[in-house]
Structures are given as structure tokens and as C-alpha cells.
Chains A and B, each alone.
Chain A
Amino acid sequence: MITKPVPRSSAPPARRFFSRLAAGLLAAFCLLAVPLYGLAVDDPSEMLSDPRAEARAEAIGAQLRCLVCQNESIEDSSAGLARDLRRVVREHVAQGESNQQIMQWMVSRYGNFIRLKPALSLGTIMLWSMPALALLLGCGAAFFFYRRHAATPPPPPLSDDEKARLARLTGKDDRT
């Protein structure tokens, strides 16, 4: 934090106070912005002794929704169920199961809702492709409309009778 030195005589006390306050607030904000990687593993004995296996378990747990506090992963939540699920994930990792097998174990019990990142399915494909599809349909409709408009032939020239009638209607008939 670098502040311009202000000549003492030119800065009134109130302004000095506010510039200090602003500097303090900025410093506090910078401290708040430091990312705090606090995982809810509240008991170190939960963790696996092998750091690589523990990292894998944490990565899997971060993908699983805590069903009690629904916007938190089981790694972030302190709910009892989250703690139990963390333990299950670590047991399965220790048994050497693949990430996919562990996910499958969870989904077969709790349904797709337990995935924080929804799986690719017909429904999600439709959801994601909807904007592109809508744009495509719109462009198609516009193209058809434009082509039909351009393809309309010009009207045939007026016959003598029609010319006379037009002149009558527009009041440019010489005979009146």
C-alpha cells in the first residue's frame, strides 16, 4: 500500500482522517480476499495417511452434495451425514476403488442430485444446446422468410382499364 505523502499544512485534519480510514478499509478488504481453504474435516483422524489417496478422496468429496446443507459439498459441510459420507469415500478409496465406482455407489443410493456437477444426460444435453438450437431455428425461419420475399415476382403491368380506374381513384383523370 503506497500513499502519496501529503504536505501536512495543505491537508485538513478531517481529510487526513478519511484517507487513513480508506487505507485501513482497503487493507482489511485485502485480508478478507485472501482465499481461506478451510475444509470441514474437523477431526484429523478422518484423513487418510497416504497424502495422494487423501487428495483423491477430497477431490471426490468436493463433487458430492451434502444432502443436509444442500449447497455445500460433503468436504465443506459439518453435518453428521456429510461426515459419514466422507468416511465412506475414504474407505472406498483405501480399498482401491475408482472415482467412477465411488460416484456410482453414491448415485445408486441418493440419486443424481448428490452430484454437484450434473452428469451428461439427454436432459442436460437438451438444456445446454437449447440456445444454439433456438438461434438455428430463428436463422432458418428468417432465411425462409427472406427467400420467399425475394422470390415473389413483380406484379404484371396494369391493363388500360386498370390504368383508367387508378387515375380515377387518385383524382388525376383528365376527363373530369
Chain B
Amino acid sequence: MNSSGSITRRRLLMALPLVGAGAVGAAFWKMLSGMQHGSFNPHDINAPVLNRPVPDFSLPGLAPSEGFGTQDLTSLKEPVLLNFFASWCIPCVAEMPTLMAFKDQLTMWGVAYKDKPDNAAAFLRHSGNPFARLGNDQQGRTGMDWGLSGVPETFLIGPGGVIRWHTAAPLTEDILRGSILPLAAKLKTP
């Protein structure tokens, strides 16, 4: 009785490494299979902006809008979509009609990133301007404080100026309907 008990215990101990290796293998399998459907991307920059307060910055305006800074975002009562764009950036040009289509459902602010003010203004005249306020980051220094690696890049700022959502890819109707609008609605109701 006693000896058989010790043998099963030993068997269990021996199975332990096997079970551990199996668990680790399954975890790696799950992680790597995420590369197929985009939930795992080793090239992702993963700027650690999520759920952080907006960085310290102050931007001059882009006519006709006056600029904005940290204060304007932290005093927000409703969510705002902050979009970095440039007239020289083809994906930004491609994404603009989508932003125009949703501008009545969500407040949008824009920042012209490393762009000549005249070019940025001409671009918005041509494509339509979805932005309630416009900042001009001609040197790209504010972009750095936001962890920007390129344009377009978009942030959803919750009330109180906390970054709640972020993407470094052009926005599509699916992303706006599926992710951004539901999250914005949730942030609006306290």
C-alpha cells in the first residue's frame, strides 16, 4: 500500500516536466499562430502609449484653426480622435474620405506632421477637412513625444486626456465601426 503510493507519486513527479514542456509548447503554438491573423506581430513597434496621459506638448495652429496642447486634451469631456497626417503621405490621402464620412459621429482633431503649412492646407481644401482643430508639427518633435513612427497614426483620447486606443495603420470603415465608435461610446458614458 505504502510502496504503491510512493510509486504513483514518483510517476506524477516524472510526468511534471513532460506536462510543463507540453504547456510551453502549446503557449508558443498559440503565440505564433497569432501571426496568421495579426494578433501577434514581432515587427510591431508597440509604442507604450495605451492608457497613459497625453504627453506634454503645445502645437501652433494651421489656418484657419488655432493650435492646441496638452491642456486642451486633458480638459476634454468627450472622446476625441487625434489623427497625425501629411499631404505627402499616400495612405493619409487614401484614409481621408473615411474620416470625412465619420466626422459627424466623432470629434476629430488633426496634426499636420512634417508638412509645409501651405501644402497641408491645400490638401485639406482638396479632400475636405474632418478636423475640428488643427495643429502643425512641422519639425516632427511633438510626433516623437507621441511615439510616432510615421503617418498616418491615430489615437483615441478619452475624457481627461488619457490615450485609450492607438493604431499606426490607415483607418478603415471596419476599424471605425468595429473598434473606435463602440469604444468612444463606452468612454462617453461615465
**Do the beta carbons of A111 and B17 come within 8 Å of each other?**
no
State whether B45 touches A113 (Cβ < 8 A): yes
B47 touching A144, Cβ below 8 Å:
no
Q: Is B30 an interface residue (CB 8 A)?
A: no
The contact of B46 among A113, A140, A148, by CB within 8 Å, is A113
A133–B13 Cα gap in the complex (Å)? 16
- Which of B10, B20, B140, B147 sits near A110, CB closer than 8 Å? B147
Chain A interface mostly: helix
B147 and A111 form a contact (CB under 8 A): yes
> For residues 130 through 160 of chain A, which have their beta carbon under 8 Å from a beta carbon of chain B?
134, 137-138, 140-141, 144-145, 148
A80 on interface, CB distance cutoff 8 Å: yes
Nearest residue in B to A88 (C-beta to C-beta)?
Answer: B144
Residues facing B in A104-148 (CB within 8 A) are 108-114, 134, 137-138, 140-141, 144-145, 148
Residues of B within 8 A of A111 (CB): 45-48, 147
- C-alpha gap A159/B45 in the complex (Å): 76
Question: Are A84 and B140 in touch, CB under 8 angstroms?
Answer: yes
Taking a contact as CB atoms under 8 Å apart, the answer to whether B14 and A145 are in contact is yes
Chain B residues positioned under 8 Å from A138 (CB to CB): 17
> What is the bound-complex CA distance between A111 and B140, given in angstroms?
18
Q: A98 interface residue, CB < 8 Å from B? A: no
Chain A proximity mask over B117-147: 1 for CB below 8 Å, otherwise 0: 0000000000000000000000111001111
Q: Is the CB of B144 within 8 A of A109?
A: yes
A109-B147, A137-B17, A148-B10 are known contacts. Are A70 and B43 too (CB-CB below 8 A)? yes
Query: How far does the Cβ of B29 sit from chain A's closest Cβ, in whole Å?
Result: 16
Q: Is the CB of B47 within 8 A of A110?
A: yes
A109 and B145: CB pair below 8 A?
yes
Contacts of B14 in A (CB 8 A): 141, 144-145
A141 to B15, CA, bound (A): 9
Query: What is the CA–CA distance of A145 and B17 in the complex, to the nearest angstrom?
Result: 13
Main secondary structure, interface of B, reads loop
- The bracket for how many chain A residues form the interface is 20 to 34
A27 at the interface (CB under 8 A from B): no
CB-CB nearest in chain A for B13? A144
In the bound complex, CA of A44 to CA of B150 (Å): 25
Residues of B within 8 A of A134 (CB): 21
Q: B114 to A80, Cβ gap below 8 A?
A: yes
Interface string of B81-116 (1 = CB under 8 A from A): 000000000000000000000000000000000100
Q: Are B45 and A110 in contact (CB under 8 A)?
A: yes
CB distance from B189 to the nearest CB of A (A): 31
Q: Is the CB of B150 within 8 A of A68?
A: yes
B44 within 8 A of A: yes
Q: Which 10 A-B pairs have the closest CB atoms?
A: A67-B149, A137-B17, A109-B147, A111-B46, A111-B48, A110-B147, A113-B45, A111-B47, A84-B140, A67-B45
Question: 13 new A-B pairs (CB below 8 Å) besides A108-B48, A110-B149?
Answer: A67-B45, A67-B149, A109-B47, A109-B144, A109-B146, A111-B45, A111-B47, A111-B48, A113-B44, A113-B45, A137-B21, A144-B10, A144-B13
> Can you sample 20 A-B contacts with CB below 8 Å?
A80-B140, A81-B150, A84-B139, A84-B141, A88-B144, A109-B145, A109-B147, A110-B45, A111-B47, A111-B48, A111-B147, A113-B44, A113-B45, A114-B45, A137-B20, A137-B21, A141-B14, A141-B17, A144-B13, A148-B10
